Amino acid sequence: MPAQIILQQVGPLPIKQTFNAPVDGPVTFFVAGTGRSPSANNWIGVQIFVDDSLIGRLFVFCDQAQIHRSLIPNLISTNLSLGQHTMKLAPMNTNTLTDDNDGFVVTLLY
């Protein structure tokens, strides 16, 4: 299965990246990242958008405050048309904090 790295960079969120889809039809994105919560016992996460449409989320429960945590990686399936698209990663809620100590990776599988 061919793969194309869409983004591989550190935060903070939001992050936007344009990319060219090499296929017309179904694709899968592998998305991983990190984040932290300002207080204990909160859900944090990242929303994934393609061309301003929400296609999925990453999340994790933080039982400790101010600890950078790995978000649960996700495989997200969608359809793309050939050509240029925009990928955006944004915080899921106000408890989701990211900075230069957080990393994000999006890989397109087609």
CATH 1.10.10.1150 is the classification of domain 3-109? no
Place of tokens 């296929």: 23
Q: Where are the domains of the chain?
A: 3-109
The answer, yes or no, to whether the previous bond of 14 is cis (omega within 30 of 0) is: yes
pLDDT block averages, 10 residues each, the chain of length 110: 96 98 97 98 98 98 98 98 98 98 98
Rounded to whole angstroms, the Cα distance separating 23 from 63 reads 41
The pTM for the full model equals: 0.95
pLDDT at 25: 97
Pairing of strands 53-62, 42-50: antiparallel
CB 110 within 8 A of CB 1: yes
What pLDDT is recorded for position 8?
98
Task: Please report the pLDDT score of residue 30 as a whole number.
Answer: 98
